Amino acid sequence: MHRKVLTILLCALFAFGFADELDDKMRQLKELQKQLETTEQKVKQTDTKKKKAESDIQRTSSLKHLTESNLKKLKAEERIVTDSIKSVSQRLQIAETRLGDLHREQNAELNILMRVDKSYKPQQIKHRDHRYLKTFVEGSRRQISMLSGYRVSLTQAQELHLNEAKKVKTGVRKESTKNTQYEKQIKNLATQTKQLTNEQKKLQSQVEKLKKDSASLESLISQLMAQQGKEPSSYQWTGRKIAWPLKGKIIRSFGQETRSYGTSVISNGIDIAAAEGTSVMAADDGEIIFSDRYGGQGKMIIIDHKNGFFTLYAYNSDLLVGRGAKVKKGQTIAKSGMTGSASAPSLHFELRKDGKAINPMPYLN
């Protein structure tokens, strides 16, 4: 009798040991999956940053190209204006020299005319030299007048060219400054892109490691679930199909969802949109083997249907049954919510066969 009781106790402790180990491994699996989703989100954010940096490089390169084109035109204008100023200055210098010569010639002619007038004035004789000299003086005066007007025109032209040269130099200076700034921006963006590429590689390496760890842990969980209790040779339900845990729009399907850079997020079940507080029902008869808060799954229930299948209900706001409770198909076991990593009020529902997640859709009514 004592031996029989001891055997029963040992079996119970052994079973509880398996259950505790199963809970612990499932907790580790959910944590790994949460880390995987977080890392893949970082990959996506890094990809967005990298694309923005690459877009900024293209935009800045286009602006730099436009600036260089403007700078080339302005420098061509600067050369033309500089040549014009040089030409006007040379002509102005020639005009100034010629005016000086004319003034000296005119003074000399006037001096001669005055001496002639003085010599012939007492005799009151108008010598022919007087007439010739007067004609020369008047001619010199006309040349000086014309050359003075020409000098004024050249001076005005020189001033206009100098003002234009000043504007062009200002434009060249501004475009050169912009070009330097764009070069610096492109260099910084190129450095940022390189850093983001390296970060992507590191994150991708983390994603691959987390996937391997998750797959290894899921295999172990499958073994533990297989040891949870005796399983019949064939899988049978109480009916032809299992019941929907609740009715609503499926907002996330079962399986792999491909994301940027070939990464993916694997959903082990389906997410059903539902207002918080909606009744969650057992998909079929079974025993509650887990009923508690569980990492990213929030408040979660797992039912062992004693036929090799397990169902999982997560994101709940309230759990209405405890571990070890026997439940019937359609019985309310929880209230839906938005706990854990849920991004919207919903229910996360999984179906597992021998511990391995399978698509629940073919099994639901």
Instruction: Specify the CATH number for the domain of residue 334.
Output: 2.70.70.10
Q: Record the tokens describing residue 137, joined without a space.
A: 């003086």
Residue 347 buriedness (CB in 10 A; 0-12 / 13-18 / 19+): buried
Within-domain flag for 272: yes
In a domain, 48, yes or no: yes
Q: In whole angstroms, how far apart are CA 229 and each of 22, 223, 326?
A: 12, 11, 15
Residue 69 backbone phi and psi in degrees, to 5: -65, -45
Contact 257, 269 (CB under 8 A): no
Is residue 250 domain-shared with residue 223, that is, in the same domain?
no
Supply 40's token pair. 């893949």
Answer yes or no: are the C-beta atoms of 293 and 342 closer than 8 Å: no
Residue 314 lies in a domain: yes
Gap between the Cα atoms of 188 and 194, Å rounded: 10
Task: Examine the fold and report which residue of 167, 192, 227 is the final residue of a domain before the chain moves on.
Answer: 227
Alpha-carbon gap, residue 104 to 110, rounded angstroms: 10
Residues 198, 267 within the same domain: no
Same domain, 220 and 247: no
**Residue 30 domain flag:** yes
CATH number at residue 51: 1.10.287.2610
> Both tokens of residue 62?
């286009």
Residues 274 and 222 placed together within one structural domain of the fold: no
Task: Determine the pLDDT at residue 133.
Answer: 64
Q: Residue 19 contacts by C-beta under 8 Å, 6 or more apart in sequence? A: 228, 289
Is 7 a member of any domain? no
Do residue 188 and residue 248 come from a single domain? no
CA distance 229 to 310: 12
Q: Are residues 23 and 60 in the same domain?
A: yes
Angle at 28 between CA 209 and CA 227, to 5 degrees: 110
Tell whether 152 is covered by a domain: yes
287 located within any domain: yes
Domain of 320? 236-365
C-alpha–C-alpha distance, residues 33 and 211, integer Å: 8
What's the Cα-to-Cα distance from 232 to each of 139, 190, 283, 305, 357, rounded to whole Å? 135, 63, 19, 11, 19
Q: Are residues 223 and 243 in the same domain?
A: no
Task: Collapse the DSSP code of 246 into the 3-class scheme (helix H, G, I; strand E, B; otherwise coil) and give the result.
Answer: coil
The pLDDT score that the predictor gives to residue 336 is 96
Which H or E element spans position 303?
A: strand 299-304
Q: Are 206 and 245 found together in one domain?
A: no
Burial class for 343, CB neighbours closer than 10 Å (0-12, 13-18, 19+): exposed
Q: Choose the final residue of a domain: 166, 192, 227.
A: 227
In contact, 268 and 357? CB cutoff 8 Å: yes
Same-domain check for residues 188 and 253: no
* Of residues 317, 270, 276, the one with CA closest to residue 293: 317
Given 182, 197, 227, which residue is the final one in a domain?
Answer: 227
- Report how far residue 254's alpha carbon sits from residue 292's, in angstroms, rounded to the nearest whole number: 24
**Same domain membership, residue 255 and residue 282:** yes
Tally of domains in the chain: 2
> Are residues 131 and 223 both part of a single domain?
yes
Determine contact, residues 357/350, Cβ cutoff 8 Å. Answer: yes
Q: Which amino acid is at 6?
A: L
Residue 260 shares a structural domain with residue 278: yes
Strand duo 309-319 + 326-327: pairing? unpaired
Task: List helix spans (H) across the chain.
Answer: 2-120, 128-226
Whether residue 179 is contained in a domain is answered as yes
Per-residue pLDDT of the chain (365 residues; tens, 9 = 90+): 444 434 444 444 444 445 556 666 666 766 766 777 777 777 778 888 888 888 888 888 888 888 888 878 888 888 888 888 888 888 878 878 877 887 787 777 677 766 766 666 666 555 555 666 667 667 777 877 887 887 788 888 888 878 888 888 888 888 889 888 988 888 898 998 888 888 878 878 877 876 776 676 566 666 656 655 544 445 688 888 999 999 999 999 998 766 554 555 678 899 999 999 999 999 999 999 889 988 778 899 999 999 989 999 999 999 999 999 999 999 999 999 999 888 899 999 999 987 788 999 999 98
340: left (phi over 0), alpha (psi -120 to 50) or beta: left
Amino acid in position 190:
A
